Every structure is written in C-alpha cells, then in structure tokens.
Amino acid sequence: MTEDFAVPEVKLAGVSKSYGGRLVLDAMDLCVAKGDFVTLIGPSGCGKSTVLKLISGLTAASAGTIQVDGMLSRNARQTISYIFQDATLLPWRTVRQNVGLGLELEGVTARKREQKTAALLDLVGLSHVAKAYPRELSGGMKMRVSIARALATSPRLLLMDEPFAALDEMARDRLNEELLRLRDEQKWTAVFVTHSVAEAVFLSTRIVVLAPNPGRIHAVLPVGLPWPRTAALRTAPGFESLVARVSHALREALTS
Amino acid sequence: MKSRLITLANAAAVFAALLAIWQLVLWIFHVPPYMLPSPWAVARAVVSRFPSLVGALAITTAEAGGGLIASVAVGVVIALMFAQSRWVRRMLYPYTILLQTVPIVAIAPLILMWVGAGTAAVTLIAFIISLAPVIANTTQGLISVEENLVHLFLMHNASPSQLLFKLRLPHAVPSLFVGIRIASGIAVIGAITGELYAGSSRVGQGGLGYSILYASSQLQTDYLFALVLAATVLGFAFFFLVMFLEWYFLHRWHESARTSEAE
C-alpha cells in the first residue's frame, strides 16, 4: 500500500477560484496520494466545498491546474463519486433504485445493476429496506443509501462534503466507523470536508487546515494513529492530543 | 376512517340546514316559485327532466374534460420547452400571463367566428382558460430542482435527456398536479361560460351553460336550479378525480402524503 501512496491521485497546482470578482481560494497546492484519506477543515467561507467542486470538475478553476489520476478532472468523472451534505436521494425512487442510479445513468444493464445494488445494500446493512422510499428512512439510513450509491460505480476517488453534518453524534460516530470499514474493503482515496475536529482526526491520514478570506492552506497535519481504527480510538491519549493540535491550528487559521 | 365519516356527517348536516333555511325563507317571505323554487320543486325537476339534465351534463363533461386533457398535454410540452433555457422563458412567459388575463368573454365571439358554435368551440375555450396554471406550475417544478441533484447527475455524465426525464420531469410531477387541480375547476367554469356564448350548434341541444340560458329565458327556475346543482356536482367530480389521481401517483413517496397521514 505504501508504494501506491507515492502516486498522486489528485493534484492541485496554484489553484485559485473567484466568484464575481471575489477571490475565495488563493493559489492552493495540494497533493492527495492514492489510498490517502485527506480531510479539509476550516471556518465557514474558507473554500472547503469549493475545493471539492474543483476536483470534481463541477466548477472550473480561475487559475492553476487540477489533475485527477493524471487527467483533467472533468474527464476523470467516471472514477469519482461525490457525497453531498444532504443525502440527495430521489424521493420517487426506492432505496434500491436510488443506489442503482449512477449505474443506470452510465448504461449498466438491469441485471448487473441488480446484483451490484443488492451487494452494496448488504454491505451497508440496508437490504431490509431495499423497497422502501426515502421518506420512510431515518437521516442516518438515508446517508448510508447515499454512500452505497456513491460506491456503486466503484470509484477510485470519493469526495465527501460534510456528509454527516446533519446527524446526531452517535449516528455520526457509527457512520464514521462504517465508512472506514468500507474504505478498508474497497481501497478508495478520499477527500473529506467536515467542521468536526474529532471526526477529522478519526477518519484521516492527513488533515488540511484552511484559513479564510481568501481560502488558503494554513497547515497540513499528518494523522499517525494506528489502523484499523475502532470506537476505542476516540478515548486513546494520542487521539485527544491530536484533536487539541488540530483545534489549535484552527484557531490560528482564524486569526492568520 | 372514523374522522372521514364525521366530516361527511358534518357536511350532510350543513346541507340539511341550508335546505331548511331555504324553505323557511320561502314560507316567511312568500317568494314566488319563478323567483326561487322550493328545494322540493328542484328535486322534482331533477327527476322529471333527468334525461335532458344528464345529456347536458355529459356534453359539458366532455367539453371540460377535453379542454383539461388538452391543456395538460400542451401545457406539459410548453413547460418542457420553457425549462430548457431562461432565455426561452423570458421570451415566451409573458404570453402565458396573457392567457390568464384576457377575459374569456372577450375572445369567445372570435372563437365562435373561427370554429363555429358547438362542442369544438367550447372545448377550445375550456382549453385556453385552463392552460396557464398547468404551464406555470409545471415549469416551476421543472426548474426548481435542487442544485446538488443536478450535480449528482452531472457527476455521472448524464445526458440532457437523462437530466430531463429521470430528474426534472419526475421532480415536477407534484407541481404538475397542483396545476391540474387549479385547471380542473377553471376548465368546468370555462366550459359553462363558453356554452353561454357558443353552447350549441343545434337549437335545444347543449351543455349545462346553454341549458341554463335556455331555462332562464323560459322562466323554468326549478330546472335552472337543477342545472346549477349539476354544474356544482361536475366541478366537485373533476376536483376529486384529480385529487384521487394525485394521491395514486404520489402517496408512496411525496411529502404531501405524509402531511395528510399526520392530519
């Protein structure tokens, strides 16, 4: 796995972004290696979500270059999945149909879709609600459907924009553990956005602290906590000290 | 179920009270029957003139129904065009407002001149008058899709037709039903109003509007009341049919179903 980490999956070089003349991201350089789990954290308005949109090609950079697996991000979309802050499920589709949406749009046959969605629903523990509609699910279940949908197309890069922000702490912790279990099984690279320091420390291999006005990298903190990570890690002394370091960096970023 | 029965019983009680007040007014003020017939006289007119009443009702139903179906079909197509670009909307939307604001009585003589009196003219009037709410609501549903859902589709390199048929159109279905619900009432009003002007191509045969005009000229006030009653029943029938279709298509997934369950 270590040798894979040397090959960059995502590379941002001097990337800036302006909206209507206002600079929101200033000359960002960022390299995400294969298998990395990079979390972007920072105060509101520091451009965290903008970075994800730039990597996904949903918005174009005002300056600089972005490469995903050596390609322009727009051309690499088949290898990328995006999980949004809300579950973004289609309410008129059942859970199974929602999970299979990406495959359907990409022209995968119904039989293959069926097999893949069944396996993924099993993986996220939602086989029993396959025929339910989103309005019948809890917030946590909706987010698990959203994760299953994102994984259905076998992405190599997963972009997640505060996916668990709307959940209570218990549901968030449980989904954090589930996310790492899925990552262990499927070996994707992740760029994750959150406001929660504890979540960032628990999930990441690296934490990128962003400063606002305009958005820029303030600090990059490696997370050397052992793998696999379980709930017990949250009470380990190393975890607490890392949380304190990241919180300190965040406070600095606000005043820098 | 129990609450529905209570609602029905309440409605029946109000209806009975209204009939009683009506009869009392007749007794107290000695109103002549040609001015205000008794509820009993209206009931008798319904029974004795039942075949012609049903005939008139059937004609108006066909005209209003035809106009409504045409307005839904054409309205959805126009809304799909409007949803394609802001430029198209800006250019053509004012004409939709025109449909809503031009009084139908003003254009009825023109339609009569172009199409001739009869069912076709009335159906056309019902269509014109019920088109605007279908276009306005469906367009709103098509263009108000959450940005992240569009992004989700773009991330899978969705084609414009996939975006339209797998996202925008299903998203617009609840709004479409709001439009149809409004249009259903207007179509009935439009058909009856149209019949006042262009109701029949043959003397003695026409829908409710035409028959109302005829009964009025003959001072058949009891039959006129029976016709008004039939028009009300028709309006209700259209409204409840659309409500049923809305429930049928949306109850499994749409939040409106949850609201009605909670109530």
CA angle A106, A180, A229 (to 5 degrees): 170
DSSP category for residue A83: E
Interchain contact, A58 vs B155, CB within 8 Å: yes
pLDDT digits (tens, 9 = 90+) for B234-251: 999 999 999 999 999 998
* pLDDT the model gives residue B50: 94
Q: Tell me the CA distances in angstroms from B208 to B107, B131, B226, one per residue in order.
A: 20, 22, 10
* pLDDT the model gives residue A213: 86
pLDDT digits (tens, 9 = 90+) for A192-244: 999 999 999 999 999 999 999 889 999 999 998 888 888 888 888 889 999 99
Chain A residues in contact with chain B using a Cβ-Cβ cutoff of 8 Å: 56, 58, 77-78, 80-82, 84-86, 88, 90-93, 101-102, 104-106, 133-135, 153
Q: Tell me the CA distances in angstroms from A59 to A30, A44, A232, one per residue in order.
A: 17, 19, 39
Report the run of H or E that residue A114 belongs to, with start and end: helix A110-123
Interchain contact, A91 vs B149, CB within 8 Å: no
**Nearest-CA distance A56 → chain B (Å):** 7
- Rounded to the nearest integer, the mean pLDDT of chain B is 89
**Nearest-CA distance A159 → chain B (Å):** 11
Q: Which residues of B touch A82 (CB under 8 A)?
A: 151-152, 155
Interchain contact, A77 vs B152, CB within 8 Å: no
A78 or A160: whose pLDDT is higher?
A160
Sequence-distant (≥ 6) Cβ neighbours of residue B87 within 8 angstroms: none
B93 or B28: whose pLDDT is higher?
B28
**Nearest-CA distance B181 → chain A (Å):** 20
Instruction: Please give the average per-residue pLDDT across B143-171, as a whole number.
Output: 94
Confidence grade of residue A1 (pLDDT, cut at 50, 70, 90): very low
**Nearest-CA distance B217 → chain A (Å):** 53
What number of other Cβ atoms are within 10 A of residue A206's Cβ? 18
Q: Which of B148, B149, B155 sits opposite A80 (nearest CB)?
A: B155
First to last CA, chain B: 12
* pLDDT the model gives residue B28: 93
pTM confidence score: 0.84
Q: Going from the N-terminus, what domains does chain B have, and what CATH number goes with each? A: 48-262 (1.10.3720.10)
* pLDDT the model gives residue B108: 83
* pLDDT the model gives residue A2: 38
**Nearest-CA distance A77 → chain B (Å):** 6
Q: Beta-strand (E) ranges in chain A?
A: 8-19, 22-33, 37-41, 63-68, 71-72, 80-83, 157-161, 189-194, 206-211, 216-222
pLDDT digits (tens, 9 = 90+) for A2-56: 334 445 689 999 999 998 889 999 999 999 999 999 999 998 888 999 999 999 9
Chain A residue with the nearest C-alpha to that of B251 = A92
A189-194 and A37-41: which strand pairing?
A: parallel
Distance from CA of residue B176 to its chain's centroid? 14
* pLDDT the model gives residue B253: 86
Determine the residue among A49, A90, A146, A149 to mutate to test chain B binding: the one whose Cβ has the most chain B Cβ atoms within 10 Å.
A90
* pLDDT the model gives residue B203: 56
Instruction: Please give the average per-residue pLDDT across B214-219, as a whole number.
Output: 90
User: What residues pair up with A83 in beta bridges, in sequence order?
Assistant: A160
Q: Which residues of B touch A58 (CB under 8 A)?
A: 151, 154-155
Interchain contact, B162 vs A92, CB within 8 Å: no
Confidence grade of residue A74 (pLDDT, cut at 50, 70, 90): confident
Q: Which residues of A touch B171 (CB under 8 A)?
A: 92
Q: Going from the N-terminus, what domains does chain A have, and what CATH number goes with each? A: 2-255 (3.40.50.300)
Q: Is the pLDDT of residue A246 over 60?
A: yes
Chains A–B, number of C-beta pairs less than 8 Å apart: 56
Instruction: Please give the average per-residue pLDDT across B126-149, as a whole number.
Output: 94
Q: Which of A56, A86, A93 sits opposite B155 (nearest CB)?
A: A56
Interchain contact, A88 vs B146, CB within 8 Å: yes
pLDDT-wise least confident of A79-83, A118-122, A170-174, B148-152:
A170-174
* pLDDT the model gives residue B92: 86
Q: Which residues of A touch B153 (CB under 8 A)?
A: 105
Tell me the percentage of chain B whose pLDDT exceeds 90.
67
**Residue count of chain B:** 263
Confidence grade of residue B4 (pLDDT, cut at 50, 70, 90): confident
pLDDT digits (tens, 9 = 90+) for A113-149: 999 999 999 888 899 999 999 999 998 899 999 999 9
Q: Which of A77, A133, A135 sits opposite B155 (nearest CB)?
A: A77
Interchain contact, B258 vs A135, CB within 8 Å: yes
Q: Which of B152, B253, B258 sits opposite A88 (nearest CB)?
A: B152
Q: Which two tokens stand for residue B108?
A: 């009825």
Cα gap A42→A46, rounded to integer Å: 6
Q: Which residues of B touch A102 (CB under 8 A)?
A: 155-156
* pLDDT the model gives residue B260: 52
CA angle A195, A196, A199 (to 5 degrees): 130
Determine the residue among B148, B149, B155, B261 to mutate to test chain A binding: the one whose Cβ has the most chain A Cβ atoms within 10 Å.
B155
pLDDT digits (tens, 9 = 90+) for B45-93: 999 999 999 999 999 999 999 999 999 999 999 999 998 888 888 888 8
Of the candidates B74, B82, B173, the residue with the CA atom closest to the CA atom of residue B130: B74
